[in-house]
Amino acid sequence: MKRLLFIIVTLTLCIVHCQSSTAFTDANDLYAAGNYAEAASLYQQMLTEQPSAVVYYNLGNAYFKQGELSQAILAYERSLRLDPSNKDTRYNLRFAESRITDNITDNRAFFLSTFLTNVRNLMRERTWLWISLVTFVLFVATLLLFLLSAEPVVRKTGFSIAVITLVLSVFALVAAQSLHQRDTLREEAIITQGIVNAKASPDKSGTELFTLHEGTKVRITETLGEWCNVSVGNYQGWILLANLERI
């Protein structure tokens, strides 16, 4: 009975994999033929079944070819969430971002904070957790070496390595926790409408503070009904949730 169940499960997985591979090939063929809308539709269908960094990347390319800048940026961002090490995706994202109307920078952002955030985004949460675990084991090993060795050189080396590995372990753990919070709360979003006016209050009659354009990345700080308060650079205001899509 167990053997029969194993065979059924294996065959089912093989069929699903073959169907997925066929759909991916078909979508790539449509893209190569210049049928970008049809390719994007097929990529989207695949993503509803199983998230994939490669499929999101191809979807971003298909949207970009159609001139749908916000959807292209959104797809690239989602691809990087699954595979932060992909240089092609990161390059295409930067290129797409260079085409958006807004070029808002945060003058209050501290250089070190921005640098650490960029380093955090280079790897996935699970990778940072593994780095934290491995460096902590090294910390314990070198700490024992420092405590138990009678040789001054060995003790000095052990202490230095222990400090370095402890710092790395703590940083990796904080990075993993930060990524977990980012992906759980999904505070980052992309403006999907052409022109959006941010207001001083969650009301259509509220005073207009500034204007955002399609493709701009914002951070959601608060939601209230159909409205959300977003921050971008030095600006903060209320816009309709329908005007953006969370990454």
pLDDT tens-digit series, residues 99-141: 988 766 655 556 777 888 889 999 999 999 999 999 999 999 9
Task: Tell me the whole-structure pTM to 2 decimals.
Answer: 0.82
Residue 103 confidence (pLDDT) = 64
Residue 102 lies in a domain: no
Give the range of the structural domain holding residue 159, as residue numbers without chain letter: 111-185
Grade residue 5 by pLDDT with cuts at 50, 70 and 90. very low
State whether 139 and 91 are in the same domain. Answer: no
Residue 105 confidence (pLDDT) = 60
State whether 158 and 211 are in the same domain. Answer: no
Residue 180 confidence (pLDDT) = 95
Kindly provide the b/e burial profile for residues 165-183, where b requires at least 16 CB atoms within 10 angstroms of the residue's own CB.
Answer: bbebbebbbebbebbeebe
Mean of per-residue pLDDT scores for the chain:
89
State whether 84 and 150 are in the same domain. Answer: no
Residue 104 lies in a domain: no
What total of structural domains would you count in the chain? 3
* 243, two tokens: 């005007």
Residue 42 has pLDDT above 50, yes or no: yes
What is the Cα–Cα distance from 170 to 46, expressed in whole angstroms?
38
Q: Which of 64, 97, 130 is the last residue of a domain?
A: 97
